[in-house]
Amino acid sequence: MKIWNKIPIKENGDKLIAIPGHLNFLDPHPYYYLGAPYQDKNSIWKLREEVVNRLVKVNDYLISNNNFFILIYDSWRPLEVQEFMFKRAFSLECEKLEIDASLENMKSYPSILKKVEKFWAYPSFDSSCPPPHSTGGALDVCFSDKEGNVVDMGSQVDQMDETSKPDFYENIVNEEAIIWNSRRNLLREVMNKFGFAQHPNEWWHFSYGDQLWAWKNKKANALYGKI
């Protein structure tokens, strides 16, 4: 459980809707491509209606003021997808450490679980602490250029190491680090401008209305539970 899971949820009933097609999406969807159990391909790119409205404003602002576009990497995740990706991350970490661990016995490896949970919310079916992406309020984004190419931000989305911290490059003085830090700052500033909160461990993860958003903004309650 994360510190923000202590925030109570008062579901406001905001609908889960399709993200407009004029926005930029990573294609193919990275988790669908890996075999994550979405019901169908058309159910992937969805968010809460208010989140979609704010995301459209983010993209319009960037187009008007910068040379970047928002590129959506991931959005709403059914709990089954969250479970699939969490277990996959656990298995890959075990392979990296040359540990033969059973998925049914994950809790016997607390240090590995702790590292995985730094980047992947535990797929809890407890309605009081849903994974952020399973609320429809969280999304993963990066920048693309005008040609649709992914812009280098200093680490890959979902990269499970210290370089994924939003401020990792802040005090590193070399040309590449300065550029990466500038791009991360721009992404955070624009997302914050339209009400989104950034995950403390992931430069790409932003949310509105979920428990993480409520915690970062000192709200009495979150607006979105599992959907």
Active site residues: 202
- Burial of residue 227, with CB atoms counted within 10 A of its CB: 0-12 exposed, 13-18 middle, 19 or more buried: middle
Q: Provide the 3-class DSSP secondary structure of residue 6.
A: helix
Neighbouring-strand partners of residue 72: 25, 141
Nearest CA to 121 out of 89, 168, 164 is that of: 89
* Distance, CA of 136 to CA of 127 (rounded, Å): 14
For residue 138, which of 217, 80, 73, 42 has the smallest C-alpha distance?
73
- Could you count the other beta carbons within 10 Å of the beta carbon of residue 159? 15
- Cα–Cα distance, 138 to 120 (Å, whole number): 12
- Give CA separation, 142 vs 75, 153, 188, in Å: 12, 8, 10
